[in-house]
Amino acid sequence: MRLRREQVVSTALRLLDEVGLDALTMRRLGQELNVQAATLYWHVKNKQELLDAMAEALLSDCVARAPEGLTWMDRTANMAERLRRALLAHRDGARVFAGTYVTQENTLRFADTWVGALREAGLSPRAAAWGTWTMVYYTIGFTLEEQALAPLPGVEDGKVDPAHLRAALARGAYPHLGEASTHLLDADLDARFRYGIQLILAGLEAAPRDEPSDPAPEGPRPRRQPRRNR
């Protein structure tokens, strides 16, 4: 059967769950698909293009319409929740997504809906675009940390033992951290994520609605003519 690009991407995502991003190499993928390198590179020319295709596939379930009747803030928070769930659906999903620059259907439609929600709230094009970026960066960063600290397959415990932080704070040398230790060690990551999103949304709600129109992009400057010797 002829190899298809979709098969390459789906196999790469399965391997990602099994071995993680660091062990996901083009050679390993070719072996899994039982194809030669030349066949594999016909579909993805290098690992970066493979990661772009994987990132696009991660968003396949994110492009569904948000529930009707939501406020713009709830719609926008829903977009961030969808992105986080998509990244958490695969091992190292946030690492795959970070650093990609995808211009394909799922990514563009998802981004258009996100920016559109902020535009409908009355934000300027700049505030809507930069507000979307801010929420995307926060979501990726939060999920990167979340996945970095999660237990690896076959390992019962995570990489961080809260007892170490408790012991360090028990000496009383860091009074402010000690006062907030209950919240620093709170394992409810869903609540922590939503708290950060609400902070961003509060800032966007307070953003001015009367920003000046975005300046038109500058055209190419005329080239100087060489000065002639007189």
Q: Tens of pLDDT along 10-66?
A: 999 999 999 999 999 999 999 999 998 888 889 999 999 999 999 999 999 898 877
Helix %, strand %, coil % of the chain (to 5)? 60, 0, 40
Please give the pLDDT value at position 226: 47
Question: Does the pLDDT at position 69 exceed 60?
Answer: yes
Nearest to 209 by CA among 107, 131, 112: 131
The identity of residue 65, as a single letter, is: R
Q: What pLDDT, in 10s, does the model give residues 191-225?
A: 999 999 999 999 999 988 877 555 555 555 544 44
The yes-or-no verdict on residue 230 having pLDDT over 60 is no
Predicted confidence (pLDDT) per residue in 111-152, tens digit? 999 999 999 999 999 999 999 999 999 999 999 999 998 766
Domains, in order of start, for the chain: 5-45 (1.10.10.60), 65-152+159-205 (1.10.357.10)
Quote the pTM value.
Answer: 0.84
Q: Are 198 and 80 in contact (CB under 8 A)?
A: no
List, in order, residues 6 or more apart from 55 with CB less than 8 Å away. 96, 97, 100, 102, 107
